Structure 1
């Protein structure tokens, strides 16, 4: 077989493979560039350092002489789960609790750039770190061991609050406040991490909320970039997460705002 024919057959196979991909595989393929950016770009690391530098400054400006709390999300806020997302993309797999739990129990998540330093800065300056995550409570031991190994401070049953019955974090945040703490800083990668106002809301409502609270970002609320998943996707349409992969692909396509080409 000559070289040109081999190349042509290879290209044809690639096209056939792309066309024969299932809707679920196509959904995962669309996320690959975001994962690549998250794992490889200097820009992503610059943004995490920028976020945590802002967080340090805001903490010093806002802390009181009383009990100061910094509330943070975990996944894609303090620790990096992109290898799980990469596994999903390569294998055409959607999220499942079974595979997610297996990933968390492997205790292989790494710290985001600047995250451990920020947490220790707070602890060394009179504050307490509260890790409020929607990892389920059965993952407590694995999560605690992972965080301790990375060097995060104050990892115990008082400060690590995982999901029991609801993904709404309001009750856990209020639990911290009820102990007499002032919440000085909140950090997350999803607008839902900052309150329940935006749970299950559309992206239009989410943007309106951000604009109404613009002065809080960088001052009280620190948000980390996450192009891999989050409320922005479910906010594309009502009941998005209940749609079939084929229907989700159509919603994604329709959400684009393209140039006319003219």
Structure 2
């Protein structure tokens, strides 16, 4: 709490102070801290109980539907574009993104906020190799439940394939079921005859579809479920057209305000633009009524 002295008392105190001390140059005003658009997002991710409750709610809801999906031989959570083989006779699996879906990388984001830095592949790889990411609430219990009922757990991530050893070690330390190296499909995994565009996961989902009937998918990005042809507001909505009925039954979407493809969609996907320009375009995207 800030206490406010009466004006006269404050003035007399100020005059007395001036009389008692020699004059000195005025102190330079403190420079205002640069705005960091990610500060609130990272703080919310790390401290808000609401964040944890959303994850628990999502994974518990998924678990409540899993056995029914397992009993339905035609149940499948892959889009028609990603289903490259008939589901009949295939063993069941669940497909999960890793970062901000099962592993919490907010310490890496917090370091960037504190240092004023930006994401780069070297610092990201170094963080992954620390193998210190924590489990997201509810993720461990769900994946263990799935594995206990004979459902394969596949981690489909945009972590590079050369981070597989560190990533699988991190998952194992936390108790996540990891059947082996094939459980991790990182960026760089190749499906012959399928051309990957950027970091889209469609080819890897097609690879999964050749081996498994996918009961559920989990992710914090739209691209964890379908390939996004045009990363614009309209294009993102179009990508999930026809699949809204799957939300909460086959597709389980988790919150990530700290980063994601939603952000560059606001500035025409142009990361080469100066930060001030990108920030202004994000401001221009806000709705005021």
TM-score of the aligned structures, taking structure 2 as reference length: 0.78
Q: How many residues align?
A: 242
Q: 1:17 aligns to what?
A: 32
Gaps of 5+ in 2: 1-13, 19-25, 74-88, 190-197
Distance in 2, matches of 1:144 and 1:11, equals 52
**Which position in structure 1 is the counterpart of 2:209?**
177
Q: Which residue of 2 aligns with 1:107?
A: 131
| Counterparts of 1:199 and 1:156, CA distance in 2 | 32
Counterpart for residue 243 of structure 2: 213
Q: What secondary structure sits across from 2:181 in the alignment?
A: coil
Q: 1:237, 1:251 within 8 Å by CA — same for their partners in 2? A: yes
Quote the Cα distance in structure 2 between the aligned partners of 1:85 and 1:207. 27
Cα distance in structure 1, aligned partners of 2:28 and 2:107: 28
Residue 37 of structure 1 corresponds to 44
1:193-224: CA deviation from partner (whole Å, max 9, x where unpaired): 0021x155102322344464221100110011
Partner of 1:201: 231
Q: Answer yes or no: is the 8 Å Cα contact 1:79–1:109 preserved in 2.
A: yes
Which of these two proteins has the greater Rg computed from alpha carbons? 2
Alpha-carbon distance in 1 for matches of 2:288, 2:96 = 36
- 8 Å CA contact 1:200, 1:234 repeated in 2: no
Structure 1 residue 30: deviation in Å? 1.3
Distance 1:127 1:257, change over 3 A: same
Maintained 8 Å contact 1:78/1:111: yes
Q: Give the secondary structure class of the aligned counterpart of 2:283.
A: helix
2:265: which partner in 1?
Answer: 235
Q: 1:92 to 1:69 in 2, by over 3 A?
A: same
Aligned to 1:147: 171
Q: Which moved more, 1:206-215 or 1:143-152?
A: 206-215
Q: 1:159 to 1:81 in 2, by over 3 A?
A: same
Q: Which structure 1 residue ranges, 5 or more long, are not aligned?
A: none
Q: What displacement does 1:57 show? A: 2.0
Deviates more, 1:119-128 or 1:166-175: 166-175
Alignment of 1:90-129 (within 5 A): 90-129=114-153
Contact 2:267/2:282 (<8 A) preserved: no
> Between Structure 1 and Structure 2, which shows a larger proportion of helix residues?
1
- Classify the secondary structure of the residue corresponding to 1:240: coil
Q: State TM-score, norm by structure 1.
A: 0.86
| Distance in 2 separating the partners of 1:243 and 1:184 | 41
Q: Contact 1:45/1:113 (CA < 8 Å) preserved in 2?
A: yes
